[in-house]
Amino acid sequence: MDYLEGLNKEQRAAVEQIQGPVMIIAGAGSGKTRVITYRVAHLIRKGVDSFNILVLTFTNKAAREMRERINKVVGNEAKNIWMGTFHSVFAKILRVEADKIGYPNNFTIYDTDDSKSVIRAILKELNLDDKLYNQNFVLNRISAAKNNLVSWQAYQQNEQIQAEDFTSGRGQMGKIYETYASRCFRAGAMDFDDLLFKTNELLRDHPEVLNKYQHKFKYLMVDEYQDTNFSQYLIVKKLAAVNENLCVVGDDAQSIYAFRGANIQNILNFEKDYPDLKIFKLEQNYRSTQNIVSVANSIISNNKEQLKKNVFSEKETGDKIKVIRAFSDNEEGKIISEEIMQQRTTNGLKWNDFAILYRTNAQSRSMEEGLRKLNIPYKIYGGLSFYQRKEIKDLVAYFRLTFNPNDEEALKRVINYPRRGIGDTTIDRIILSAGQNNITPFEVIMNPAKFLDGRSSASVGIFATMIQSFQVVTKTMTAYDAALHIAQHSGLLKDLYEDKSVEGLNRYENIQELLNGVKEFSEREDIEEKGLDVFMQDIALLTNDDKDKNKDADTVSLMTIHSSKGLEFPRVHVVGLEENLFPSQMSLNSRSDLEEERRLFYVAVTRAEHKLTISYATSRFKFGTLINCEPSRFLDEIDARYLELDFTAKPAPSAGSGSFFDDERNAWTRKSNTSSSGDSFSKPKAATAPPVKTTSVLAKAHVPSPNFKPSDTSNLQVGMEVEHERFGFGKVISLEGNKPDIKATIFFKEIGQKQLLLKFAKLFIIS
């Protein structure tokens, strides 16, 4: 039991509670992974058969780490646990049970590019405007339907859905969904959403299968439960229905994937499904300093929908959180880059100790410019992954076609690569003939003389024979030997080798790297099945954390906050804290959307271990136009006692280029002076309907008088007329407080009443 000694009291209690429904609310940095792994190990130590344990995660990385840790406690029994992502585990089940829902066991898994290709073909066939029916919109619409378990039949019969489509001018969405589903089925292919959608269908329509897995998986654990969608929720609930030994682990404060279908209500209402639920709260943060934790707590406390917890840290108090104001997005990039350079030099750090997090990918431009000017190496995460490169997808398409000749997308991708004289017209004729005769395109090319003319028939026939030969020889080969054989005999390796350009050499090296990956897979000891078909399934189910081949490079990390979830860095810069950017303009229509944005900010803050910096710009280019920006309402919600303000950036010289400089400084100072009482900024708190922002100042900024110069305001009196460099002309209507913190209430002609702290107000006394 020595493995339990390193757990704190609450962690140990959660590990030892192995019977019945359990919810572990795990605050950021609270040792969640350790608790899950030790709980699984504890189950096995208590006599539970490792084959009867199912652990579901959201990344392969998390599953790998957990299995390695469990192995250290219980040894080889760890290999028997069903552990992996939702998609990988249920793909494994579908491989066994697919015939029951009409699919081949060797079905292909389509990635996003494959799905978009199918949709493009459908739009072309139906003669639909691809601008109105944007392929991303169409795919997201179908994905949302599947995640809510809405089949194409139910989609077409739902009056509300149909009304929405017709109102938006997309009345053919139901037909597109039907054709897409039919095309995937004909190709023996499932997209990512199908892996869950079809599992639900399998468990719903085949009670004997449901019964089989209910009794197999006697103990279930689900990581990141707050990120589950309706489809995942229903699968878990069905599988746990017999034994109810279900443990879910998560943090409602880190639920940030509603746009992908995640439903925070799954964790908020978990107790309603299991009234005898036992709840454990992991509240000690082992990652961050107390100041960082305190800032995070003050942010998330503003959300109404949450499971209350009191996260704390016993690490050092740490530096205050620096808040930087820049007058433009370019200056923000410059300041952040200089900060990173200075901190690295002063503290002897590595570049990969730093991360820059932003709300949208577009914000990376100004950050990149600042880093490049100082020759700071950086890497943008979320870009083109290794497995998305053309040459990799080409070779993998050959692999796919070898094991599933009905895979239409793979066929179209490689039938004329390398070039074989099979043009687009011939390919279109193959697809058309398949549709007209209700057969697959591969069946057409198996009988080319029947469907094609003589010249193209010969080339197509040679290609078909080659694929058939691959199917035969790979049955007796290892994964690596099969992959190398296909790469060589398809002509792909030769074609890339003969391209002596820099790009060609890079592509050839990438193919070599893929083959190296297959070799490593073939020699792994932790898996039993090592065929090329299993390798293909592995790479099809890779999550984003697995796709980067340069994870350990010494570079500054740039990424969206969504991409940063699950990661941690010694020093974090969160940039772009401005209204309509963060929170985003799209989130200001409802409380639930705004609260998700606040959770996103919470996630950003809690990525930091030792030092956190927050920044914003008072102006930013948008669609080629310089716009004024207002500081984010989220800054109002941070207790000022934990902040260090850096307002050294000066406004641009032209009038109106800055925004809220003085009242902003006043507000921060006012809050700092009263922080012990917990006062907040003067700006109103977010309500169900977010407060309407005053735009007149932004739209028509005051131009200071030529003789404008801040006056000595120590003798300012009620009734005096004054000028403010941005708010314009006004009259003092009241004074309150004692020196040096006297506050003046001034009525400005253009914008109305404002309260300013005189020592920062910079007023010009007119009379």
List the catalytic residues: 32-33, 223-224, 254, 607
The DSSP string of 310-377 is --EE-S---PPEEEEEESSHHHHHHHHHHHHHHHHHHHT--GGGEEEEESSGGGHHHHHHHHHHTT--
CB-CB contact of 679 with 646 (8 Å): no
- 169 labeled binding residue: no
- 680 labeled binding residue: no
Pick from 472, 473, 449: which is nearest to 459 by CA?
A: 449
Q: How far apart are CA 735 and CA 745, in angstroms?
A: 6
Output the CA–CA distances (angstroms, integers) from residue 465 to 313, 420, 483, in the order listed: 65, 13, 18
CB-CB contact of 136 with 202 (8 Å): no
DSSP, collapsed to helix, strand or coil, labels residue 723 as strand
- 531 labeled binding residue: no
Q: How far apart are CA 254 and CA 568, in angstroms?
A: 14
**Residues found in the chain:** 767
DSSP, collapsed to helix, strand or coil, labels residue 584 as strand
Residue 536 tokens, joined: 């293909």
- 461 labeled binding residue: no
Cβ count near 570 (within 10 Å)? 16
Output the CA–CA distances (angstroms, integers) from residue 267 to 52, 247, 324, 347, 564, in the order listed: 24, 12, 36, 42, 22
- 13 labeled binding residue: no
The three state secondary structure string of 460-500 is HHHHHHHHHHHHHHHHHCCHHHHHHHHHHHCCHHHHHHCCC
- 163 labeled binding residue: no
Q: How far apart are CA 141 and CA 426, in angstroms?
A: 32
CB-CB contact of 55 with 40 (8 Å): yes
* Residue 84 neighbours by CB under 8 Å, 6+ apart: 55, 56, 57, 60, 63, 92
CA Rg, the chain, in Å? 30
Residue 607 tokens, joined: 């990525």
- 26 labeled binding residue: yes
Residue given tokens 């943060």 in the structure block: 285
Number of alpha carbons in the 13 Å side-chain half-sphere of residue 346: 6
* Residue 122 neighbours by CB under 8 Å, 6+ apart: 176, 179, 180, 183
- 14 labeled binding residue: no
Q: How far apart are CA 114 and CA 110, in angstroms?
A: 5
Q: Which residues pair with 755 in a beta bridge?
A: 745
DSSP, collapsed to helix, strand or coil, labels residue 84 as strand
The DSSP string of 513-558 is HHHHHHHHHHT-SS-S---HHHHHHHHHT--GGGS-S-TT-S-EEE
* Residue 427 neighbours by CB under 8 Å, 6+ apart: 412, 415, 416
Residue numbering of the annotated binding site for ATP: 26-33
